[in-house]
Every structure is written in structure tokens, then in C-alpha cells.
Structure 1
Amino acid sequence: MTTAPWRDPALPADARVADLLSRMTLREKAAQLYGVWVGAATDGDGVAPLQQEMTAGHDWDELVALGLGQLTRSFGTAPVEPGLGAQALARAQRRIVAAGRFGIPAVAHEECLAGFTAWRATAYPVPLAWGAAFDPALVEEMGRRIGRDLRAVGVHQGLAPVLDVVRDPRWGRVEETIGEDPYLVGTIGTAYVRGLESAGVVATLKHFAGYASSAGARNLAPVRAGVREFADVTLPPFEMALREGGARSVMAAYTETDGVPASADPHLLTELLREEWGFTGTVVADYFGIGFLRTLHRVAADEAEAARLALIAGVDVELPTLQCYGTPLVTAVCEGRVPKALVDRAARRVLLQKCELGLLDADWRPEPAGPVDLDSAENRALARRLAEESVVLLDNPGGMLPLAPDARIAVVGPRAADPLAMLGCYSFPSHVLTRHPDVPLGIEIPTLLDSLRAHLPDAKVTFAEGCAVSDPDPAGIGEAVSRVAEADVCVAVLGDRAGLFGRGTSGEGCDVADLRLPGAQAELLDALVATGVPVVLVLLTGRPYALGRWHGRLGAVVQAFFPGEEGGPAVAGVLSGRVNPSGRLPVSVPRQPGGQPWTYLQPPLGLAGEVSSLDPTPLYPFGHGRSYTTFAWEDVRAPEAEVPTDGSCDLALTVRNTGERAGAEVVQLYLHDPVASVTRPDVLLIGYQRLLLQPGESRRVTFRFHADLSSFTDRAGKRRVEPGALELRLAASSADVRHRVRLRLTGPVRVVGAERRLRCEAEVSGGN
């Protein structure tokens, strides 16, 4: 086999794979279409939905004799020393190569939602914090570092990023998303994809598509989204990450839309994804998603029928372990129930990707190149910087922040002294270590309490927990009130505990009925405010919570979305003044806990009005965030009054730091369409630029607006650019408009497709 054409790296990949497929039996082809999850639990608690019910034991030697498509989470299933894990993975690959007739290694995949989900690996801020930073370049660098760590231990594919757009903040997986705006999700997600792919790791976009639109905010529930909402809100981030980011894999969602499960939808996975968008990579199933066609969706009578539906739709790889694509599929093909051409199609896509990864080359070697350090000083420095940029100062009306260096500070709350308060559901300690209580965290995670003491060594800092995260018992509130009564200021550290399937207040399967603070935390905050001592509220959460109950009664409000292992020093830096906050809200913060779902992408009928007594206006809008310095927006240069429907124009302004300390401003560009043939959001983000400015320094920002950015899906399902009036709004948030620029699109209606412009480029110049 070493001299066969498929081994020759000088030949085109298509030719190599065609030669290889011509030599393979049906069973060998099918073996390339599934993964094996070695060591996965078959009983008790798992790390995937219904894992114990859907996982069966398999004979390793029998499996690898046919070859193997994927190896599932050899690092992300149980604690393993990274260096030893890399060696173990290399040995497994050697066994696969030695056992199979063709000696083709498996693709090893892992989760990497907020860093490599492995023991002793850097735990970065969660994606919602990426959105809060409004800094694609920094997220790209994080993706690159995560990719390098994955490749260093022999992993080829990362199951990230999540490109679901938040539609209901009660959904447990809000922490995994980048925000409630498709442009923000698309640009930040694409940056992460670029970083991961630049390291040679296959990025996997998920969950395709509509997962975050599940009814009632319930995980894995049916999707209630209209055609235009699906096209204009759900799909654009995926299209951008494929076209501009170069992602090579897509994960089919668990959900069903209008009665059709994503894993059995050829319109979604073939017609749209491949034929319209031109995607050539692999589509993988979300864990057990193919089997769910039989057990949860009930559109398949048996495993063979589930395999047939998934293959027709375009799902190439069954993850995490074989169930439907193994013997049931092979038997169905032999009986004529499933066309052999479907197996050939999927096998070709899988082998083409293996060819790209070098796994068909005769000189491929699985051993790690050197020592493995998954939590390097450079990683931690980047995690710290991203955490600092993501912290949002929601309010500081009393000027309580920064804290006085010699203040008497009562730190109160269930999130102050727990390192896990910094981590999201898909960090290794929250995702896996909860099932291994005797194993240490493996990484250093300073708590906010310890970090605050380190940042303010001259302050007198006391602590009381007050209550637990989710337990309604108020027994500890009295002690907390006593501590606060002796202090100059109270720092109340409240929020979420990330977990899986109801074992936390945020995370996969941890959905909520409303947006009240969990447990007795609201009662605790009421008691703290009632003392009369100024209260600085710090929230460490995976979703926004309703804060209207305390509006105007707090000294300051700071929001951090699970900021990672360096989150303690980052938040303490904001409280102490070492860090000037620059985060902006990627999701709206509601005033009241009910009235959901609601995001800022509302048409006029979804806004407050006299026809309803319920006002959905958020307390803090999308894009909001304050600073310890001030900025002036000057010298706005407007575009021409008329722009063709296929044309573009420039919009420029100068931003000056008018305060006494360095800080970052985020200039946001929104589109308002006064009249259209279908209802449009009142405003939607189409561009943004983060600017770091020294005191007195200025920068000029020029946005290049193209008419394509005004396109939307019409009544016939076509995307169109309509002539007529538009308003471009330069704003500090979706509700804080600084300048309005009116223009008119002229010319004919244009129908646009995959060739259209997806982003508003921004150029920064000048300075003094």
C-alpha cells in the first residue's frame, strides 16, 4: 500500500481519495463514518445528553480492523495528564494504523468552547464574554492558541465555536453563545474560526441550525422560528464563518424546525449548505443526534432508517460513537434499503478531510513533538486580557468605583470565594471534574475574594457567603448583614453555578422559567441594600438577569460572563481601578424577570407601546457599557445623500478621549430601515470598532457601508436590497445614538445571494 496512488502526496486530493475508495469494501467505507468513544460511561451521569442510554460497549480489536473515522474525546472524558494523554492517543492511533488494511489513522476530536476541555488546560472566558469584548483580533489569537494546544497533543478537530444567536435568555446554553445579534456573533465567531484553522485544526460550527430558538427556552425543544427569522437571524453567522473563516466542519443541531429534524433535513444540510453556500467539508452529528431520529423525533422506525435519513440529508459522520452507521447501515445497504452511493459520498468527504490533515500520508507520525504545557504563561496572559476586556460596567451612579484603596469592604455572596464561579459549563472543571471530586482543579483559578485582597492590600476586607447559589435557604443572610453594617462599602458577588442537565443554574440543560436571580440571592441583595451601606453588585453569570428591582438603589453594577481562570484578577482590577472597564453588553439586561423571550432585534410591533401594559424595554440595552473615562465623538462626515442599491459609501468620525486615563471606546454602527416590504428590526448592528485611546488622544474611524448590508429576506424567500430611505446610526449602544445619517438607496431592487458583502469594514487612522 505504500506505493499506491492514494499514498502519493504529489497527487491531487480528489485523485488520491478516488483511488482509495476504489480499493475499499463497504464495511471499510462505513467504518470511516463513525467515531468511537473509548471510556465513555454507560451508566450514571454522563457529559452528553442521554449518554448512558445511547452508549454501548464495543470490541476494540474488531472495530479497528475495519479502520475508524474518529476518536472521541480521549482528553475530555476523564482527567488525564496532558503529556501522558498525548502518548496514549499516539498509541491508540498506532493500533488503528496497524490493525486496518489501509493503515489510516482516525480524526481525534475534542471540545474547545472556552479553551481545550482537558485537565490542566487553560480555561478561557466563555463565548458570551468574547462578545462583550467586541475584539475579534483578540478572539482570533485565542483561537490560534487553543488550536496549537490541540495539535500539540494529537487532536485534529475542535467542536467549536457555537454560532447560535440568543433568542431567549432563559435558555441554559446562553453562556456558550456570543450574543443576541447575528452580526456580532458572525464577526467574533469567524475570528475564532480563523484562529483555530490557522493552527491546522478543523473548526466545527454548531449548532446548525436554530438550536437557540427552541420553544420555551428548553434545551432540545422544537424550534418555533419563521422562514425570515431563520434566514436573517439564525443563518448569517454560519455563512460568514464558512465564507470568511474557512471552517471545515459543521455540526447538525439536535432540534427540529417545523417538524423536520436538522439531522434529516436535506434542504438545510445539502441544498443550502453545500449547493448554495459551496461548503465542501464534513457534516458531523451532534452527539447521538442520528439515533435521536428514532428515539426522540420518531421519524425513523429503526437505526437503519435513521442512518438512511441522516445520509440523505448530508450527515457524514456519526458522533460520538457508532450506533446507526455501523452494522445497521451496512446491512441496510446490502438489502437495498440504503443506496450505496450515499455511503460513498460521505466516505469521500471524510477521506478528503483526512487527506488535508495529512492522515493519508505514509510518513504521518502521531507522537507529540515535545513536552506538553496546556496552561502556559502566554495562555494565561491572553486569558487575563480577554477577561479584562469583557467586564462590563453597567452602572456607577454613586461613583463608588473604583473602590478606595483603604476602604473597609464587606465582600458578600456565594460566588466570591469559589473558583468555579469563574468557569462555564464546558470548562473541564465544571464539565468533567464534578464527577471526580478527589482530583484537583489542575489549574490556578484565583477567586474574586482573594484577588480583591491582593489588589487592595491596605483595605480591610471581610467575607460572608450569605446564601448558596441555588438553595432558597436564607439562614446565612443575617451574618452577612452584620458584616456589612461594619463596612464602608459592600461588594455583593452573586450569580450562577455552571453545570450539566440541571446540576447547575447555567449550562447545557439548565434552562429557567424566568430571569430572577437563583435561590435566595435576590433576598440577600434586598437585605444588603436595606442596610444603607453602599452596595456594589458584581454578577458572575452565564446569562443576563433582571435587575430592575434594584435600579437606582445600588452604588455600582458590574457584569462578568464567566470570565475564565484569570477572571478573579480581571474583575478585581475593575473594582480597584487597575483596569478601566471597556466591555459592552452582547445581550440585553431585562428590567423585569418575565416577559421573555425578548432581544433588541424587534420590529416596531415588538417595542413598548400603548396597546400593552407590559413594557419589554430592557434596563440596560445591547451594546451598553460604561468607562472610568469620557469620550467625545466629533467631525462626523456623512455619505452622499443617494447611494445605488449596488453601491457603497464611507461614513467617518473622530473619537477623542477627553478624560484623565486611558480607556477603550466601542463605536457601533446600526441600520434603521423606515419602510420595507416586510417588517424589519427597528435597529440592527452592521458594524463596530473598538478603540484604545490615551488621555487626549484621538482616532478617526471610517466605516465602509455597502448596500448589501441592508438586504433582507422577502416574502418569496429571496434576499433583496430595496431602494428607499435608510438611516445609519453611530451609537454607543443600540439605544444610545450619537449621530444619525440619512441616505437613500436608488435604482432597482437587487436580489443577492452568497456573493453579497457580509461585513462593514472599518479603517482606523490618525492620532495625536
Structure 2
Amino acid sequence: MNLWEQTDRPFDERVEALLDEMTTAEMAGQLGAFWPRPKERKEGGGEVAPMESVMSSGEFEEVSRDGLGHLTRVFGSAPVAVEEGVANLARFQAQVVERSRFGIPAIAHEECLTGLTAWGATVYPAAIAWGATFDPDLIEEMAAAIGQDMAALGVHQGLSPLLDVVRDYRWGRVEETIGEDPLLVGSLGAAYVRGLQGAGVDATLKHFVGYSASRAGRNHAPVSIGTRELEDILLPPFEMAVREGGVASVMNSYSDLDGVPAAASRHLLTHVLRERWGFTGTVVSDYWSVSFLQGMHRVVDDLTEAGALSLRAGMDVELPETGAFGHLAEAIDRGLLSEAELREATRRVLLQKAKLGLLDPDWDPQTAGAATDLDSPRNRDIARRVAEESIVLLANEQELLPLRAEKIALVGPIASDALTFLGCYSFPNHVMQRHPDMSTGLDMVTLADAVRAEFADAEVAVEAGVPILDPDTSGIAAAVEAAKAAEVAIVAVGDKAGMFGHGTSGEGCDVVDLRLPGAQAALVEAVLDTGTPTVLLVVSGRPYSLGAFADRAAAIVQAFMPGAEGGMAMAGVLSGRVNPVGKLPVGIPDHPGGQPGTYIAPPLGWFSDGVSNLDPRPLFPFGHGRSYTTYEVSGLELSADEVTTDGELTVTATVTNTGDRAGAEVVQVYLSDLTGQVVRPLKQLVAYVKVPLEAGESRTVTFGLHTDLMSFTGLDKTRIVEPGAMEVKVGSSSEDLPLAGGFTLTGDVREVAEGRVLLPTISLGSLG
């Protein structure tokens, strides 16, 4: 038996023995991929992405002749039943193994941000809804279920989670993010990584890094940010997922940062990721981004230069197909790349394969479980719970909710279209738009049917009023009549996800401002003008400006694309069967302009009377969310008035459910650096915990805040903790912070080494 096949030997030893036997062409083969795309897409029809047909590679026999690194989306490219997909994957794997002199199979990867992107698979809530749960344990449970389904099919790697921090709400991919705060994004992202990888499927962080800070919120646009925004806002979630989650793979961003494409940035892919953070996994390219170095960024003359530049920067695998990396042997001949550099990238890919069991002599492509139920009751139960915990009650000043009515008017384009519950990377919205004659493969209850079921004794009239995007207002009159005849009106407005302009939210679906799409604002105005008490229900992938309606709507509910179980979850919140516990992972703007703006702002980025006629403050702030019960946060205690710059502060508070029903409150801790050598944010979240409480119960919460959590990028661009006055605030949103205390950091300025503390410690006291 060959040494690399001996499972009792260390992975590194097995991989080195294999590398010693490989030719240059065989090493390069491990860095490429093949996408078995449907025939109609090979011919340029129904493309997933712009320029897809231009970037497509050669036939399978050519691409895999010297071995193959990845097989791309065998399940996720067309509607195939589980049995057919398993058979397709097994057939391709058998051919890869046969063509490889060493019998090495490929890594099979799929998209999985809202669940496995495959026909008939459960669609979970969008990532922005994960953020609204503020519940890492729940997200880890969800990811574990996704990973178990993928592993059963023979899939090895998932291209999730997305850890871009929202910087501009106009960006189409806001729905794929977890929110606008680095701690929230990083802690939930690391939880997703643990869940997926605990099930045996490698996770992939994306998009590394800066993508979400593109100019004007435009997809693929240049990124012009400073070192501090990069180091203190955008990089920390990725660092958390590397160091706390142990992620196996990272994907680059399409964008260029200050003129350097991320796919060609040695600073990002090698210095930051590997040398600073100790990442040992693989870096895979976002689809066609290596070829984009020539075709879009124009930093090289040909694909040979593109492949060499990217690999030398730290790229290991070109996805979704072998294009520029098909020229790596030529790059060596031209002196653009060394064999040692090629070997290093191949070493990382083979090490990943070894850990996945793909170098084991008993590996068999036929062992995948064709009987797997991708939409199991277990999956649906998790999807329901994530949906319920993600719905945010924004306002209920008139206490109209929970609803009690015998005649209800449900109006709006969301009412009868369950696809509006799903994100752009869900299979029904991502793929099935190209197959309009087929079933989506997923049973879902529309909001209209859910409301009828939830309010079984009520008369429910349903009118669309307007389409989601088309400016057709001919249906508003019927909606108005329904509202006039009802005791209560529910106006359901928002988004329908799509790709590259074929939707109002999603990849390539960017917007010029934050008005509700199409004529939906006119519908809301018309229903409000009837005087019928109205619930405004927004089902969207990004926050929209609601300031024009807030003082007239009796209640406002925000649901961020709540997935396949979203209909009943939303109806449950409206009826009171579900007590809302969601909190905003992004702010809800007051007015449609004056963006971008998130809560992490310096003094001049916030409202300052007389400085500007524009007030950037949100209508509803980050972390906000109401309930059908009430809570009180009290009894703030700080462990010390003075803390050395290398010490730790303990923050203690008590949260009490002061209402008459069970619920859960998210206790949030924010820090403010009152004076710094560089401009500092007014406040930033440093700890949070969701605390379930029965009516009348109390619980003490203790947060351990190492001073590393108070560090920032100083004048000389090193990370430091600086002595000086600090303020800590505790409460239930970034603006509702009733508890405040001060302390002083003492001692010398401390430079923070790599390996810093990234997360607080949290302990819950006994129930009282």
C-alpha cells in the first residue's frame, strides 16, 4: 500500500509522500474545478452570473485528465431528484478517480447559505434573519442540520457563511449578510461554521474582504476604505471564524481595495489570513474572479499571468471551473511562478482531501445516502424556530397586536407569493426561475393561507394591490375597499429576491435609495388613508425607509426573508401565538436618503445640530425589538473603577420579565472610548446574550470584558489598548441603554499581539 493511503500515518506525512510522486501537471490539476452545467447554460442561456458563458472552460475529459480539485454544484445547477443527483455525483467521481494516476477524487461543493441549494431541500431563513435571532446556538443547530444533509449526499464543502459586515443598505447582498455589527456577524458566523463542520462538511467564509463596502452599494464596485475600517470593522468576523470556528476554507471578494483586487492580494490572502491568523486551510476563488484579473480588473495581460498572480498571492483553487489555472504549467515555463509555490498550494488542497477521507483506499463514491429526505420534519422544525425568533416587532404603540378581529384585510404583493420568503441563493429563486414549467419542489404556505389558518374564525379578504416592482397601481382601489370593509388591515410589502437585476434584493440587485420597491409605498399610503387600524408588515432582504408611515401605522413588524416556514411564523406573531423576540441586525432608516449609515459611527457620522440639515439617525436602531411582554434591565455593577490596559472588566446586570407571559430578552453591552488618539465610534457592541424568562422571572448576567475587546488601530496602524476614560452601557438596543457606568483604563499604551481575545465571557446566574 502506498504511504499516502495509509490511514494510520499523519496527514502531513501522507500528503508529502503523494506530492513527491506528482508531476507539475498533476499538481496543477488538483487546483482546478469542473462544473457539469446543464446543456442550455453551456450554450449561454439562463446564466447564473454575467459573463458566465464567456468564462466557461473546456470539456470534462480535458479538464480532469491530470486530476481534479473540485466538482462544482452537481446538485445545485438544475432540478434533480436526490437519487439522480447522487448518481450523477458518483458517476463524475468515478471518472475523476479513473483519470487520476493516484485515484484521487474531487471535493464536491455546493451553495448552502439558506440551506443546501438543491431541488426539494428545506429553505431556511436568510442570513440577515439569523442576525435578528441573536442566537448562536440556534444557528449552529441549523448549520448542523444543513451539513448532515449535505454529507449524506457525498458533498464535502459548502460555500457559506457570508461574513461581510453591512456598510450600505443599498447593496443587494444585504440579505446574505448577518448584520452591521462585527461581533454579531462574527459570533453567529463562527457558530454556523461549527455546526456545518461538526457534521463533516467544510465551511467557506466569504467574501474576504471588503465586498460590502463597495462604492454606492453597487455589486463588484471598487472599495475605498482606510486601514481602520478594514481592521476594526470588516476583518474581525473573519478572524473570529478562523480562530474561534476553525474554518476550513475561505473565498475571496470580487472587489478591489484601493486598486488591489482581493484575488491578487498577497497582503490579505497570505499575510493577514495565514501569517497573522494562522489559517491553514484552502483559499478558493469566487466564481471566475481569477479570470476577472484580466477581463475586469485589467491588472494582467492574459490568463497565464492571472493564474500566476493569484496563486502567488495565496489562492489555492480556481472556481467554478479551470480557466486561468489551466495555464499554471505555462506560468512556470515563463518564470511567473515557481514549482515550490505550486507545490505549496497543492499541499493545502491535498491536506483538505486527506482530512475529508478522500485519500483513503476504501473511499467509495457509491456510499452516499440516496434515501436522504432533504425537507425532513426535523429540518422544518428548525426552520420554523429560526423564523419565529427572527421576526422583529418594531412598533406596537396602539397595542393592536396581538390581533383580535373578525374581519381582516390582508393586502400587498407579499400576501399570496411565498417565494418572497426566500433569499436569492435559495434553490426556488436561484435556479427554478429558469424552469418556469416545473414545480419548485418545496411545499410552502403563503401568508394569505397562514393568516386564514391562524384566524380561522375571522373573515380574511386578500388583495395584492400592486406588484412588487412594476409601477402598476390599478389594484390599489380594490385593496382600499377591502381595508375600508375590515376591522384591521395588514399591509404586507417588501422584496422578491433574484439575481443580477431579476429581483429587488439579492446579488446584483442594488438600489439607488431605500424607498419600498415599485408602487408599494403608494399602496401603504392609500390603506393608511382609510383610517382602518393598520399593521405594516415588511418582508424584505434589506431595511427600507419607513419614516413616512411610522406615525400612522398602528403596528410595524419586520420579517427578514423568513424561509419556507415563514408564513406560519409571521401569522403566529400577528396572532400572539408567537411572542416576538427578534432584534434588528441593521437599523431601519427614517428617510430614504442620506445613506449609507450604520450605528457604528464617529461623532461627525451621527446627528450634530447645525452641522448638516440631514439627520442620519435611524427610525428604529440596531438591536431594537419589542415584545408582547415587558423587560427591565437593572442593577449595573462594574468590577472596578480602574482597569489596567492588559486587564479585564466584569460587567453584571439583572434582566427581569416584568410582563405577564414568557419571552426572551437580548441584553446588550456597548462600550464608548471617550477620548482616543484617533477618532473612535460613539459606541460599539462588545457583548450580548439572549435570556429566556418566564413571566416575573429575573436572571443575573455577567460579562467578562478583556481589554483586548477595547483595542483599536492606532495612529501608527498597529492594534493598541490606550489608557483613558471609558463608558459602558447596558440595555436592549443600541439606543435604549438605561444602565451606564464609567471606568478608566490605566497604565501604558499596550500593543496587542496576534491571537487577541475576540469574544467576551458570559455567565448566567440562577433564575429568581
Answer whether TM exceeds 0.5 for this pair: yes
Instruction: Using the TM superposition, give the Cα deviation of residue 753 of structure 1 relative to its aligned residue in structure 2, in angstroms.
Output: 2.8
Q: Which residue of 2 aligns with 1:175?
A: 175
Instruction: Using the TM superposition, give the Cα deviation of residue 61 of structure 1 relative to its aligned residue in structure 2, in angstroms.
Output: 2.8
Q: Which residue of 2 aligns with 1:740?
A: 740
Give 3-state SS (helix, strand or coil) of 2:428's partner. Answer: helix
Q: Which residue of 1 aligns with 2:450?
A: 451
What code does the residue aligned with 2:471 have?
P
Structure 2 CA distance for aligned equivalents of residues 29 and 130 of structure 1:
39
Instruction: Using the TM superposition, give the Cα deviation of residue 421 of structure 1 relative to its aligned residue in structure 2, in angstroms.
Output: 1.1
1:588-612 deviation digits (Å, cap 9, x = unpaired): 1110000011111100011111111
Q: Which residue of 1 aligns with 2:342?
A: 343
1:255-307 deviation digits (Å, cap 9, x = unpaired): 00010000111011111111111111000000000000000000010000001
Q: Which residue of 2 aligns with 1:605?
A: 604
Q: Which residue of 1 aligns with 2:398?
A: 398
What code does the residue aligned with 1:244 have?
E
Q: Which residue of 2 aligns with 1:117?
A: 117
Q: Which residue of 1 aligns with 2:51?
A: 50
Structure 1 CA distance for aligned equivalents of residues 636 and 679 of structure 2:
29
Structure 1 CA distance for aligned equivalents of residues 78 and 653 of structure 2:
52
Give 3-state SS (helix, strand or coil) of 1:401's partner. Answer: coil
Is the 1:45–1:52 Cα contact (8 Å) retained in structure 2?
Answer: no
Give the one of 2, 8, 16 matched to 2:14. Answer: 16
Structure 2 CA distance for aligned equivalents of residues 525 and 623 of structure 1:
25
What code does the residue aligned with 1:21 have?
L
Q: Which residue of 1 aligns with 2:36?
A: 38
Instruction: Using the TM superposition, give the Cα deviation of residue 738 of structure 1 relative to its aligned residue in structure 2, in angstroms.
Output: 1.5
Give 3-state SS (helix, strand or coil) of 1:27's partner. Answer: helix
Q: Which residue of 2 aligns with 1:303?
A: 303
Residues 343-492 of structure 1: matches in 2 within 5 Å?
343-367=342-366, 368-369=368-369, 371-404=371-404, 406-492=405-491
Structure 2 CA distance for aligned equivalents of residues 709 and 39 of structure 1:
46
Instruction: Using the TM superposition, give the Cα deviation of residue 207 of structure 1 relative to its aligned residue in structure 2, in angstroms.
Output: 0.1
What code does the residue aligned with 1:499 have?
G
Instruction: Using the TM superposition, give the Cα deviation of residue 64 of structure 1 relative to its aligned residue in structure 2, in angstroms.
Output: 2.8
Q: Which residue of 2 aligns with 1:186?
A: 186
Instruction: Using the TM superposition, give the Cα deviation of residue 254 of structure 1 relative to its aligned residue in structure 2, in angstroms.
Output: 0.4
Structure 2 CA distance for aligned equivalents of residues 283 and 642 of structure 1:
43
Is the 1:83–1:153 Cα contact (8 Å) retained in structure 2?
Answer: no
Most deviating of 10-19 and 29-38: 10-19
Structure 1 CA distance for aligned equivalents of residues 710 and 159 of structure 2:
32
Is the 1:416–1:447 Cα contact (8 Å) retained in structure 2?
Answer: yes
Instruction: Using the TM superposition, give the Cα deviation of residue 342 of structure 1 relative to its aligned residue in structure 2, in angstroms.
Output: 1.8
Give 3-state SS (helix, strand or coil) of 1:548's partner. Answer: coil
What code does the residue aligned with 1:28 have?
E
Structure 1 CA distance for aligned equivalents of residues 671 and 452 of structure 2:
45
Instruction: Using the TM superposition, give the Cα deviation of residue 644 of structure 1 relative to its aligned residue in structure 2, in angstroms.
Output: 1.1
Q: Which residue of 1 aligns with 2:548?
A: 549
Residues 677-756 of structure 1: matches in 2 within 5 Å?
677-756=677-756
Which 4+ stretches in 1 moved above 6 angstroms? none
Structure 2 CA distance for aligned equivalents of residues 431 and 562 of structure 1:
14
What code does the residue aligned with 1:466 have?
G
Is the 2:675–2:725 Cα contact (8 Å) retained in structure 1?
Answer: yes
Instruction: Using the TM superposition, give the Cα deviation of residue 48 of structure 1 relative to its aligned residue in structure 2, in angstroms.
Output: 2.8
Is the 1:384–1:567 Cα contact (8 Å) retained in structure 2?
Answer: yes
What code does the residue aligned with 1:26 have?
T
Structure 2 CA distance for aligned equivalents of residues 669 and 49 of structure 1:
43
Is the 1:109–1:155 Cα contact (8 Å) retained in structure 2?
Answer: yes
Structure 1 CA distance for aligned equivalents of residues 53 and 529 of structure 2:
48
Instruction: Using the TM superposition, give the Cα deviation of residue 83 of structure 1 relative to its aligned residue in structure 2, in angstroms.
Output: 2.5
1:550-597 deviation digits (Å, cap 9, x = unpaired): 121001000000000001111100001000001000001110000011
1:697-744 deviation digits (Å, cap 9, x = unpaired): 111111111111110001211000011111111021101111001111
What code does the residue aligned with 2:734 have?
S
Q: Which residue of 2 aligns with 1:28?
A: 26
Instruction: Using the TM superposition, give the Cα deviation of residue 652 of structure 1 relative to its aligned residue in structure 2, in angstroms.
Output: 1.2
Q: Which residue of 2 aligns with 1:659?
A: 659
1:605-652 deviation digits (Å, cap 9, x = unpaired): 111111111111110000000000011223322221011111112211
Cα RMSD after superposing both structures = 1.0
Question: Which ranges in structure 2 are unaligned for 5 or more consecutive residues?
Answer: none
What code does the residue aligned with 1:37 have?
W
Instruction: Using the TM superposition, give the Cα deviation of residue 87 of structure 1 relative to its aligned residue in structure 2, in angstroms.
Output: 2.3
Give 3-state SS (helix, strand or coil) of 1:636's partner. Answer: strand
Structure 1 CA distance for aligned equivalents of residues 495 and 71 of structure 2:
33
Is the 2:109–2:157 Cα contact (8 Å) retained in structure 1?
Answer: yes
Is the 2:167–2:598 Cα contact (8 Å) retained in structure 1?
Answer: yes
Instruction: Using the TM superposition, give the Cα deviation of residue 100 of structure 1 relative to its aligned residue in structure 2, in angstroms.
Output: 1.6
1:23-76 deviation digits (Å, cap 9, x = unpaired): 1111111110011001152302322342122114x3323433311100000011
What code does the residue aligned with 1:746 have?
T
Structure 1 CA distance for aligned equivalents of residues 319 and 203 of structure 2:
15
Is the 1:639–1:743 Cα contact (8 Å) retained in structure 2?
Answer: no
Give 3-state SS (helix, strand or coil) of 1:634's partner. Answer: strand
Instruction: Using the TM superposition, give the Cα deviation of residue 332 of structure 1 relative to its aligned residue in structure 2, in angstroms.
Output: 2.4
Question: Which ranges in structure 1 are unaligned for 5 or more consecutive residues?
Answer: none
What code does the residue aligned with 1:289 have?
S
What code does the residue aligned with 1:362 have?
P
Structure 2 CA distance for aligned equivalents of residues 558 and 224 of structure 1:
35
Q: Which residue of 2 aligns with 1:235?
A: 235
Instruction: Using the TM superposition, give the Cα deviation of residue 409 of structure 1 relative to its aligned residue in structure 2, in angstroms.
Output: 0.3
What code does the residue aligned with 1:20 have?
L
Instruction: Using the TM superposition, give the Cα deviation of residue 370 of structure 1 relative to its aligned residue in structure 2, in angstroms.
Output: 5.6
What code does the residue aligned with 1:276 have?
R
Q: Which residue of 2 aligns with 1:517?
A: 516
Is the 2:86–2:370 Cα contact (8 Å) retained in structure 1?
Answer: no
Instruction: Using the TM superposition, give the Cα deviation of residue 656 of structure 1 relative to its aligned residue in structure 2, in angstroms.
Output: 1.4
What code does the residue aligned with 2:478 have?
E
Residues 563-642 of structure 1: matches in 2 within 5 Å?
563-609=562-608, 610-642=610-642
Q: Which residue of 2 aligns with 1:317?
A: 317
What code does the residue aligned with 1:761 have?
T
Is the 2:489–2:533 Cα contact (8 Å) retained in structure 1?
Answer: yes
Give 3-state SS (helix, strand or coil) of 2:365's partner. Answer: coil
Give 3-state SS (helix, strand or coil) of 2:115's partner. Answer: coil
Instruction: Using the TM superposition, give the Cα deviation of residue 308 of structure 1 relative to its aligned residue in structure 2, in angstroms.
Output: 1.0
Structure 2 CA distance for aligned equivalents of residues 140 and 48 of structure 1:
30
Structure 1 CA distance for aligned equivalents of residues 60 and 470 of structure 2:
44
Structure 1 CA distance for aligned equivalents of residues 755 and 277 of structure 2:
9
Structure 2 CA distance for aligned equivalents of residues 305 and 476 of structure 1:
56
Structure 2 CA distance for aligned equivalents of residues 62 and 266 of structure 1:
30
Structure 2 CA distance for aligned equivalents of residues 351 and 205 of structure 1:
19
Structure 2 CA distance for aligned equivalents of residues 466 and 176 of structure 1:
28
1:151-208 deviation digits (Å, cap 9, x = unpaired): 0100000000000000000000000000001111011111001101111111100000
Instruction: Using the TM superposition, give the Cα deviation of residue 94 of structure 1 relative to its aligned residue in structure 2, in angstroms.
Output: 1.5
Most deviating of 649-658 and 720-729: 649-658
In the superposition, the TM-score normalised over structure 2's length comes to 0.98
What code does the residue aligned with 1:745 have?
L
Structure 1 CA distance for aligned equivalents of residues 334 and 217 of structure 2:
42
Structure 1 CA distance for aligned equivalents of residues 369 and 599 of structure 2:
48
Structure 1 CA distance for aligned equivalents of residues 194 and 651 of structure 2:
28
Structure 1 CA distance for aligned equivalents of residues 63 and 469 of structure 2:
45
What code does the residue aligned with 1:46 have?
E
Q: Which residue of 1 aligns with 2:290?
A: 290
Residues 212-291 of structure 1: matches in 2 within 5 Å?
212-291=212-291
1:668-721 deviation digits (Å, cap 9, x = unpaired): 000111101101110100000101111111111111111111100012110000
Is the 1:7–1:361 Cα contact (8 Å) retained in structure 2?
Answer: yes
1:467-515 deviation digits (Å, cap 9, x = unpaired): 0000112111011101111000100000001000000000000000000
Structure 1 CA distance for aligned equivalents of residues 350 and 50 of structure 2:
29
Give 3-state SS (helix, strand or coil) of 2:374's partner. Answer: coil
Is the 2:540–2:559 Cα contact (8 Å) retained in structure 1?
Answer: yes
Q: Does 1:136 align with 2:145?
A: no
